[in-house]
Amino acid sequence: MMARSGAAMLPARKSESLLLLVTLCAGAGWIFSKEALGALPPVFFIAVRFLAGGLLLGLAAPAADRREWRRSLWPAFAIGSLICGSMMCWIVALHLTTALGVGAFLTCLGPLLVPFAGWLLFRQALSKRIGFALLLALPGIALLVGNGFLQWQFEAGQLWFFGAAAIFAFYFSLNNRFAADQPVVLFAAMQMMAVGLLALPVSLWLEPWPTALNAPAWTWLALSILIPTCLRFFLQNYAQRLAYTPNGGLIMLMEPVWAAVFSALWYGEVMTLSQVGGALLILLALTVARERHVRA
């Protein structure tokens, strides 16, 4: 009985390990994207990144799956529209923010809001522990943006980070439901193409397009397409298809942790003591929420 139970847990553990790798790819994407924004308009960058990434990933999909693309069309575009909304909020926030590390920790709200999105969409039960975890995270957020509650320094970019986090919660909940019976590579590719196709007209309407790109801009754009787009979304869809894990949304909290580490190494950003305290409170809240799933 114990052997069978241990074997049954292996897919869930593999899924969680892959989701952790997803967060590493995504964390690196913060740096790639911030550098690319030095030469590219924000929404245009999202459109090109995801459209190119989707086309490349689609070429890697098995031929049998490509022939059945119609059955994936509706869920891919429905979920892709949420990814698009979240990513457009995120890229605008990234363009506006002056503190990448703080913005990264603010996105921790996304994983914390996943259970609430599940309740709104599917009436999944909410425990008191999840509510307590969110209440614990709120003063952490206040410390991050308020410098110890004494001197509020609310950036416009931080509001966009909050918007991205809220939309992410709905995306993750829906993806858990619809990705299970979809072809992994093709579904991820179609989601990304949906993001690009939806963002492209928005960019055309709102932004001037660049006439030429220098070599560094091409490099950062290529890295953004290959690692935090193609590899990240392939691994995430595969992990969620491999096994449902209630810890999945919480594991995704490592993305802002990696982003904060990389921004410290790349840009030399230093967080204040109050901001570090806020980050620790958020991590404690996520640990409390995760403990609920471990005991369940």
pLDDT range class, residue 291, cuts 50, 70, 90: low
* Average pLDDT of span 52-71: 86
- Return d(Cα 60, Cα 211) in angstroms, integer: 30
* Average pLDDT of span 190-196: 93
Joined tokens for residue 20? 């952790």
- Return d(Cα 172, Cα 177) in angstroms, integer: 9
pLDDT range class, residue 5, cuts 50, 70, 90: very low
Residue 13 has pLDDT above 70, yes or no: yes
Q: Which residues contact 96 (CB under 8 A, 6 or more apart)?
A: 155, 156, 157, 160
pLDDT at residue 226, as a whole number: 92
pLDDT at residue 16, as a whole number: 84
Joined tokens for residue 166? 């809220």
pLDDT range class, residue 246, cuts 50, 70, 90: low
Residue 292 has pLDDT above 80, yes or no: no
Residue 187 vs residues 15, 158, 180, 190, 278: alpha-carbon distances, Å: 17, 31, 10, 5, 37
More confident site: 238 or 146? 238
Nearest by Cα to 289 from 136, 166, 147, 138: 136
Residue 2 has pLDDT above 50, yes or no: no
Residue 105 φ/ψ region, left for φ over 0, alpha for ψ in the -120 to 50 degree band, beta for the rest:
alpha
pLDDT at residue 64, as a whole number: 81
Residue 1 has pLDDT above 60, yes or no: no
The CA-based dihedral angle spanning residues 27, 29, 32, 34, taken in that order and rounded to the nearest 10 degrees: -80
**Sequence letter at residue 91:** I
Percent of the chain with pLDDT over 70: 90
Q: Which of 136-140, 142-146, 196-200 has the lowest mean pLDDT?
A: 142-146
Helix (H) or strand (E) holding 43: helix 42-59
pLDDT range class, residue 71, cuts 50, 70, 90: confident
pLDDT at residue 147, as a whole number: 58
* Average pLDDT of span 76-102: 90
- Return d(Cα 89, Cα 164) in angstroms, integer: 5
- Are the C-beta atoms of 171 and 82 separated by less than 8 Å? yes
Average pLDDT taken over every residue of the chain:
84
pLDDT range class, residue 241, cuts 50, 70, 90: confident
Q: Which of 28-42, 136-150, 167-181 has the lowest mean pLDDT?
A: 136-150
Q: Which of 53-57, 180-184, 214-218 has the lowest mean pLDDT?
A: 180-184
pLDDT range class, residue 265, cuts 50, 70, 90: very high
* Phi, psi values for residue 137, rounded to 5°: -75, -30
* Average pLDDT of span 124-140: 84
Joined tokens for residue 78? 């429905």
Q: Which of 111-125, 155-169, 247-261 has the lowest mean pLDDT?
A: 247-261
Buried/exposed code over 55-93 (b: 16+ C-beta within 10 A; e: otherwise): eebbeebeeebeeebeebeebbbebbbbbbbbbbbbbbb
